[in-house]
Amino acid sequence: MPLMAMDELEGLLACPVCQSPLLRHGEGWVCSAAACPRHTDRYRCVGITPVLIDFGQSVFTEADLLGGEAASIIRRTHGAAFTAMKRLVSRRNRVAERSVQRLQDLLVRQTSAPVVLVVGGGAIGNGLDSLYRSSSAQIIGFDIYASEIVQFVADAHMIPLCDATVDAVVVQAVLQHVLDPVQVVSEIHRVLKSHGIVYAETAFMQQVCEGPYDFVRFTESGHRYLFRAFDEIESGAVAGPGTQMLWSIDYLARSLLRSRAAGRLARAACCWLPLLDRIAPRPYSIDDASCVYFLGRWRTTSMSPHEIIAHYQGAQTPGPARKATPNLAHHNPPCSHGTH
Protein backbone atom coordinates (compact mmCIF):
# COMPACT_ATOMS: atom_id res chain seq x y z
CA MET A 1 0.00 0.00 0.00
CA PRO A 2 1.62 3.31 -1.08
CA LEU A 3 1.23 5.24 2.18
CA MET A 4 3.78 8.01 2.64
CA ALA A 5 6.22 7.29 5.48
CA MET A 6 6.05 9.59 8.51
CA ASP A 7 9.69 10.57 7.99
CA GLU A 8 8.78 11.94 4.55
CA LEU A 9 5.58 13.49 5.84
CA GLU A 10 7.32 15.35 8.66
CA GLY A 11 8.38 18.25 6.45
CA LEU A 12 4.84 18.70 5.11
CA LEU A 13 2.90 18.85 8.39
CA ALA A 14 1.63 22.23 9.57
CA CYS A 15 0.12 23.47 12.83
CA PRO A 16 -3.70 23.64 12.55
CA VAL A 17 -3.68 26.77 14.74
CA CYS A 18 -1.25 28.95 12.75
CA GLN A 19 -0.13 26.77 9.79
CA SER A 20 3.54 27.00 10.72
CA PRO A 21 5.61 23.80 10.24
CA LEU A 22 5.36 21.12 12.92
CA LEU A 23 8.33 19.51 14.65
CA ARG A 24 8.68 16.22 16.51
CA HIS A 25 9.00 16.67 20.26
CA GLY A 26 9.44 13.52 22.31
CA GLU A 27 6.29 11.43 21.85
CA GLY A 28 4.32 14.30 20.34
CA TRP A 29 4.54 17.26 17.97
CA VAL A 30 4.92 21.00 18.54
CA CYS A 31 4.53 24.11 16.40
CA SER A 32 7.77 25.67 15.18
CA ALA A 33 6.45 29.22 15.70
CA ALA A 34 7.50 30.57 19.09
CA ALA A 35 4.42 32.83 19.28
CA CYS A 36 1.97 29.94 18.80
CA PRO A 37 0.46 28.39 21.96
CA ARG A 38 1.19 24.94 20.53
CA HIS A 39 4.92 25.74 20.57
CA THR A 40 4.98 24.58 24.19
CA ASP A 41 1.68 22.68 24.38
CA ARG A 42 2.45 19.62 22.27
CA TYR A 43 0.03 17.68 20.11
CA ARG A 44 -0.38 14.25 21.64
CA CYS A 45 -0.46 10.87 19.92
CA VAL A 46 -2.67 7.82 20.19
CA GLY A 47 -0.09 5.07 19.91
CA ILE A 48 2.11 6.43 17.13
CA THR A 49 -0.67 8.45 15.43
CA PRO A 50 -0.51 12.23 16.00
CA VAL A 51 -3.80 13.97 16.85
CA LEU A 52 -3.41 17.31 15.07
CA ILE A 53 -6.58 19.19 16.00
CA ASP A 54 -7.21 22.68 17.37
CA PHE A 55 -9.91 21.56 19.81
CA GLY A 56 -10.92 25.16 20.51
CA GLN A 57 -12.22 25.43 16.94
CA SER A 58 -13.56 21.89 16.42
CA VAL A 59 -16.82 20.05 17.12
CA PHE A 60 -14.63 17.43 18.78
CA THR A 61 -13.19 17.79 22.26
CA GLU A 62 -9.95 16.41 23.55
CA ALA A 63 -11.95 13.94 25.66
CA ASP A 64 -13.80 12.76 22.51
CA LEU A 65 -10.61 11.70 20.79
CA LEU A 66 -8.15 11.08 23.60
CA GLY A 67 -10.45 9.75 26.30
CA GLY A 68 -9.59 6.07 26.27
CA GLU A 69 -11.65 3.14 25.02
CA ALA A 70 -14.92 5.13 24.98
CA ALA A 71 -13.44 7.89 22.82
CA SER A 72 -14.67 8.67 19.33
CA ILE A 73 -11.21 7.90 17.98
CA ILE A 74 -11.92 4.21 18.58
CA ARG A 75 -13.95 3.26 15.51
CA ARG A 76 -16.90 0.94 16.11
CA THR A 77 -16.58 -2.50 14.57
CA HIS A 78 -19.43 -4.68 13.32
CA GLY A 79 -20.12 -8.36 13.66
CA ALA A 80 -19.96 -11.02 10.95
CA ALA A 81 -23.74 -10.93 10.29
CA PHE A 82 -23.73 -7.16 9.67
CA THR A 83 -20.67 -7.42 7.44
CA ALA A 84 -22.26 -10.22 5.38
CA MET A 85 -25.49 -8.23 4.92
CA LYS A 86 -23.53 -5.11 3.95
CA ARG A 87 -21.75 -7.07 1.23
CA LEU A 88 -25.11 -8.38 0.00
CA VAL A 89 -26.71 -4.96 -0.42
CA SER A 90 -23.61 -3.00 -1.48
CA ARG A 91 -22.68 -2.56 -5.11
CA ARG A 92 -19.56 -1.43 -6.88
CA ASN A 93 -19.10 2.31 -7.08
CA ARG A 94 -18.31 2.43 -10.79
CA VAL A 95 -18.34 6.24 -10.87
CA ALA A 96 -15.58 6.41 -8.25
CA GLU A 97 -13.62 3.65 -10.00
CA ARG A 98 -13.75 5.49 -13.30
CA SER A 99 -13.13 8.95 -11.85
CA VAL A 100 -10.22 7.93 -9.65
CA GLN A 101 -8.62 6.08 -12.55
CA ARG A 102 -8.99 9.23 -14.64
CA LEU A 103 -7.49 11.25 -11.79
CA GLN A 104 -4.48 8.92 -11.72
CA ASP A 105 -4.08 9.10 -15.51
CA LEU A 106 -4.04 12.89 -15.35
CA LEU A 107 -1.56 12.91 -12.48
CA VAL A 108 1.03 10.70 -14.18
CA ARG A 109 1.19 13.23 -17.03
CA GLN A 110 2.23 15.89 -14.51
CA THR A 111 4.58 14.07 -12.14
CA SER A 112 6.17 10.66 -11.74
CA ALA A 113 5.38 10.39 -8.01
CA PRO A 114 2.10 12.21 -7.27
CA VAL A 115 1.08 12.84 -3.67
CA VAL A 116 -2.62 12.14 -3.06
CA LEU A 117 -4.39 13.30 0.10
CA VAL A 118 -7.40 11.22 1.18
CA VAL A 119 -9.67 13.23 3.46
CA GLY A 120 -11.65 10.83 5.63
CA GLY A 121 -9.26 8.03 4.75
CA GLY A 122 -9.73 5.86 7.84
CA ALA A 123 -11.04 3.09 5.58
CA ILE A 124 -10.63 2.45 1.87
CA GLY A 125 -13.72 3.91 0.21
CA ASN A 126 -15.84 2.01 -2.28
CA GLY A 127 -14.19 2.38 -5.69
CA LEU A 128 -10.81 3.59 -4.42
CA ASP A 129 -8.97 0.25 -4.48
CA SER A 130 -6.92 1.12 -7.59
CA LEU A 131 -5.55 4.19 -5.85
CA TYR A 132 -4.31 2.11 -2.93
CA ARG A 133 -2.78 -0.41 -5.34
CA SER A 134 -0.95 2.29 -7.29
CA SER A 135 2.77 1.78 -7.82
CA SER A 136 3.42 5.50 -8.32
CA ALA A 137 1.11 7.47 -6.01
CA GLN A 138 2.11 8.38 -2.46
CA ILE A 139 -0.96 8.55 -0.22
CA ILE A 140 -1.47 10.77 2.80
CA GLY A 141 -4.59 9.77 4.71
CA PHE A 142 -6.30 11.28 7.73
CA ASP A 143 -9.61 10.94 9.53
CA ILE A 144 -11.08 11.76 12.94
CA TYR A 145 -10.22 8.25 14.13
CA ALA A 146 -7.01 6.26 13.99
CA SER A 147 -6.55 3.29 11.68
CA GLU A 148 -3.70 1.46 10.00
CA ILE A 149 -4.11 3.53 6.82
CA VAL A 150 -4.05 7.04 8.30
CA GLN A 151 -0.88 8.88 9.26
CA PHE A 152 -2.58 11.40 11.54
CA VAL A 153 -5.94 12.29 13.08
CA ALA A 154 -7.27 15.71 12.06
CA ASP A 155 -10.33 17.90 11.52
CA ALA A 156 -10.88 18.66 7.82
CA HIS A 157 -11.71 22.30 8.65
CA MET A 158 -8.02 22.75 9.52
CA ILE A 159 -5.95 20.37 7.42
CA PRO A 160 -2.52 20.15 9.11
CA LEU A 161 -0.47 20.39 5.90
CA CYS A 162 1.56 23.25 4.48
CA ASP A 163 0.32 25.17 1.44
CA ALA A 164 0.61 23.55 -1.99
CA THR A 165 1.88 20.18 -0.74
CA VAL A 166 -0.27 17.62 -2.59
CA ASP A 167 -1.06 16.86 -6.24
CA ALA A 168 -4.58 15.54 -5.68
CA VAL A 169 -7.27 15.26 -3.02
CA VAL A 170 -9.95 12.59 -2.70
CA VAL A 171 -12.84 13.44 -0.36
CA GLN A 172 -15.51 10.73 -0.48
CA ALA A 173 -18.70 10.90 1.65
CA VAL A 174 -17.16 13.44 4.02
CA LEU A 175 -18.54 16.90 3.22
CA GLN A 176 -22.03 16.06 4.54
CA HIS A 177 -20.38 15.41 7.90
CA VAL A 178 -18.60 18.77 8.34
CA LEU A 179 -20.09 21.94 9.82
CA ASP A 180 -18.62 24.26 7.20
CA PRO A 181 -18.09 22.58 3.81
CA VAL A 182 -16.98 25.89 2.26
CA GLN A 183 -14.12 26.08 4.76
CA VAL A 184 -13.14 22.45 4.09
CA VAL A 185 -13.08 22.99 0.32
CA SER A 186 -11.03 26.16 0.89
CA GLU A 187 -8.54 24.05 2.85
CA ILE A 188 -8.46 21.50 0.01
CA HIS A 189 -7.72 24.32 -2.43
CA ARG A 190 -4.96 25.63 -0.14
CA VAL A 191 -3.06 22.35 0.21
CA LEU A 192 -3.31 21.49 -3.51
CA LYS A 193 -0.52 22.48 -5.85
CA SER A 194 -1.26 24.67 -8.84
CA HIS A 195 -3.22 22.56 -11.36
CA GLY A 196 -3.89 19.94 -8.66
CA ILE A 197 -6.94 17.69 -9.01
CA VAL A 198 -9.83 16.99 -6.63
CA TYR A 199 -12.39 14.17 -6.63
CA ALA A 200 -15.37 14.57 -4.30
CA GLU A 201 -18.52 12.57 -3.58
CA THR A 202 -21.21 14.03 -1.32
CA ALA A 203 -24.71 13.01 -0.27
CA PHE A 204 -27.78 14.64 -1.81
CA MET A 205 -30.91 12.66 -0.90
CA GLN A 206 -29.82 10.40 1.93
CA GLN A 207 -31.12 10.12 5.46
CA VAL A 208 -28.98 10.93 8.49
CA CYS A 209 -26.02 8.56 8.43
CA GLU A 210 -23.69 9.50 11.31
CA GLY A 211 -26.07 10.74 14.01
CA PRO A 212 -24.98 14.10 15.44
CA TYR A 213 -22.09 14.31 12.95
CA ASP A 214 -24.32 14.69 9.88
CA PHE A 215 -25.02 18.28 8.81
CA VAL A 216 -25.61 19.12 5.13
CA ARG A 217 -26.71 17.86 1.71
CA PHE A 218 -25.98 19.14 -1.81
CA THR A 219 -27.79 19.09 -5.12
CA GLU A 220 -25.50 18.52 -8.11
CA SER A 221 -25.53 22.26 -8.86
CA GLY A 222 -24.89 23.16 -5.22
CA HIS A 223 -22.01 20.71 -5.13
CA ARG A 224 -20.55 22.23 -8.29
CA TYR A 225 -20.73 25.72 -6.78
CA LEU A 226 -19.09 24.46 -3.60
CA PHE A 227 -16.08 23.68 -5.84
CA ARG A 228 -16.34 26.99 -7.69
CA ALA A 229 -12.59 27.62 -7.36
CA PHE A 230 -11.97 24.59 -9.59
CA ASP A 231 -12.34 23.95 -13.30
CA GLU A 232 -14.73 21.10 -13.96
CA ILE A 233 -13.45 17.95 -15.60
CA GLU A 234 -16.62 15.96 -14.91
CA SER A 235 -19.58 16.03 -12.55
CA GLY A 236 -22.94 14.38 -12.08
CA ALA A 237 -24.83 11.80 -10.04
CA VAL A 238 -23.04 8.87 -8.45
CA ALA A 239 -26.26 7.05 -7.61
CA GLY A 240 -29.76 7.87 -8.82
CA PRO A 241 -33.43 7.34 -7.97
CA GLY A 242 -33.26 3.60 -7.34
CA THR A 243 -30.57 4.00 -4.69
CA GLN A 244 -32.38 6.99 -3.24
CA MET A 245 -35.55 4.87 -2.90
CA LEU A 246 -33.56 2.10 -1.19
CA TRP A 247 -32.40 4.56 1.46
CA SER A 248 -36.01 5.68 2.02
CA ILE A 249 -37.32 2.12 2.36
CA ASP A 250 -34.57 1.31 4.88
CA TYR A 251 -35.40 4.31 7.05
CA LEU A 252 -39.17 3.88 6.68
CA ALA A 253 -38.87 0.36 8.10
CA ARG A 254 -36.65 1.65 10.91
CA SER A 255 -39.21 4.34 11.77
CA LEU A 256 -42.27 2.12 11.73
CA LEU A 257 -40.70 -0.75 13.67
CA ARG A 258 -38.26 1.30 15.80
CA SER A 259 -35.51 -1.04 14.70
CA ARG A 260 -32.29 -0.69 12.74
CA ALA A 261 -32.35 -4.41 12.07
CA ALA A 262 -35.75 -4.03 10.38
CA GLY A 263 -34.29 -1.37 8.13
CA ARG A 264 -31.40 -3.61 7.18
CA LEU A 265 -33.76 -6.47 6.35
CA ALA A 266 -35.92 -4.16 4.23
CA ARG A 267 -32.80 -2.94 2.43
CA ALA A 268 -31.70 -6.52 1.77
CA ALA A 269 -35.15 -7.39 0.39
CA CYS A 270 -35.03 -4.41 -1.99
CA CYS A 271 -31.34 -4.62 -2.88
CA TRP A 272 -32.26 -4.78 -6.59
CA LEU A 273 -33.52 -1.18 -6.65
CA PRO A 274 -30.12 0.42 -7.48
CA LEU A 275 -30.19 -1.49 -10.77
CA LEU A 276 -32.81 1.02 -11.89
CA ASP A 277 -30.17 3.77 -11.70
CA ARG A 278 -28.60 2.33 -14.84
CA ILE A 279 -31.66 2.96 -17.00
CA ALA A 280 -32.67 6.34 -15.57
CA PRO A 281 -31.79 9.19 -17.99
CA ARG A 282 -28.93 11.34 -16.75
CA PRO A 283 -30.96 14.58 -16.25
CA TYR A 284 -33.53 12.77 -14.10
CA SER A 285 -30.81 11.01 -12.11
CA ILE A 286 -29.24 14.38 -11.34
CA ASP A 287 -32.54 15.74 -10.01
CA ASP A 288 -33.16 12.58 -7.94
CA ALA A 289 -29.63 11.58 -6.98
CA SER A 290 -28.73 9.79 -3.79
CA CYS A 291 -25.24 11.30 -3.99
CA VAL A 292 -23.31 13.48 -6.43
CA TYR A 293 -19.68 13.85 -7.52
CA PHE A 294 -17.22 16.40 -8.86
CA LEU A 295 -13.87 15.90 -10.57
CA GLY A 296 -11.99 19.13 -11.14
CA ARG A 297 -8.70 20.98 -11.39
CA TRP A 298 -7.37 23.82 -9.22
CA ARG A 299 -7.61 27.33 -10.61
CA THR A 300 -7.00 30.88 -9.36
CA THR A 301 -10.40 32.37 -10.21
CA SER A 302 -13.88 31.43 -9.07
CA MET A 303 -16.96 30.72 -11.18
CA SER A 304 -19.68 33.38 -11.02
CA PRO A 305 -23.28 33.01 -9.78
CA HIS A 306 -24.43 33.37 -13.40
CA GLU A 307 -22.23 30.44 -14.42
CA ILE A 308 -23.78 28.11 -11.85
CA ILE A 309 -27.26 28.75 -13.26
CA ALA A 310 -25.97 27.87 -16.72
CA HIS A 311 -24.34 24.73 -15.30
CA TYR A 312 -27.61 23.05 -14.25
CA GLN A 313 -27.85 19.61 -15.92
CA GLY A 314 -31.14 18.29 -14.56
CA ALA A 315 -34.46 17.61 -16.26
CA GLN A 316 -36.24 20.83 -15.29
CA THR A 317 -34.57 23.28 -17.67
CA PRO A 318 -37.17 25.26 -19.65
CA GLY A 319 -37.03 25.26 -23.43
CA PRO A 320 -36.39 22.38 -25.86
CA ALA A 321 -36.68 18.98 -24.22
CA ARG A 322 -33.44 17.27 -23.35
CA LYS A 323 -32.54 14.06 -25.09
CA ALA A 324 -33.26 11.27 -22.59
CA THR A 325 -30.26 8.97 -22.67
CA PRO A 326 -29.66 6.12 -20.20
CA ASN A 327 -27.21 6.97 -17.46
CA LEU A 328 -25.18 3.77 -17.50
CA ALA A 329 -22.50 5.04 -15.14
CA HIS A 330 -24.81 5.53 -12.18
CA HIS A 331 -24.58 2.25 -10.36
CA ASN A 332 -23.56 2.79 -6.78
CA PRO A 333 -23.90 1.24 -3.33
CA PRO A 334 -26.52 2.69 -0.97
CA CYS A 335 -23.86 4.77 0.81
CA SER A 336 -20.81 5.94 -1.09
CA HIS A 337 -18.27 5.54 1.70
CA GLY A 338 -17.04 2.10 2.62
CA THR A 339 -17.44 2.73 6.38
CA HIS A 340 -21.18 3.62 6.35
Residue 184: give its domain's CATH number.
3.40.50.150
64, 186: one domain? no
136, 273: one domain? yes
* The pLDDT of residue 333 is above 60: no
Residue 327 in any domain: the answer is: no
The mean of the pLDDT values for the chain is: 88
120, 212: one domain? yes
Residue 256 is part of which domain span? 80-311
Residue 53 in any domain: the answer is: yes
Query: Which of residues 70, 94, 110 is at a domain's end?
Result: 70
Residue 329 in any domain: the answer is: no
Beta strands in the chain (DSSP E): 22-25, 28-31, 45-46, 49-52, 115-119, 138-143, 152-154, 166-172, 192-203, 230-239, 291-298
Residue 116 in any domain: the answer is: yes
43, 87: one domain? no
pLDDT for res 160: 98
DSSP states of 243-296: HHHHHHHHHHHHHHHT-HHHHHHHHHHTTTGGGGGGTSBHHHHHHT-SEEEEEE
47, 97: one domain? no
* The pLDDT of residue 26 is above 90: no
51, 200: one domain? no
Residue 109: what residue type?
A: R
**What is the widest separation between alpha-carbon atoms in the chain?**
67
84, 60: one domain? no
Residue 330 in any domain: the answer is: no
51, 113: one domain? no
User: Global pTM?
Assistant: 0.89
Residue 38 in any domain: the answer is: yes
List of residues 6+ apart from 222 with CB closer than 8 A:
none
111, 166: one domain? yes
Share of the chain above pLDDT 90, in %: 76
- pLDDT 10s digits, 97-143: 999 999 999 999 999 899 999 999 999 999 999 999 998 899 999 99
Residue 276 in any domain: the answer is: yes
45, 99: one domain? no
Q: Domain tally for the chain?
A: 2
177, 96: one domain? yes
Residue 10 in any domain: the answer is: yes
* The pLDDT of residue 320 is above 90: no
- pLDDT 10s digits, 44-81: 988 889 999 999 999 998 888 876 554 555 555 555 55
pLDDT for res 318: 62
Is residue 242 within 8 Å of 277, Cβ to Cβ? yes
297, 246: one domain? yes
* The pLDDT of residue 322 is above 70: no
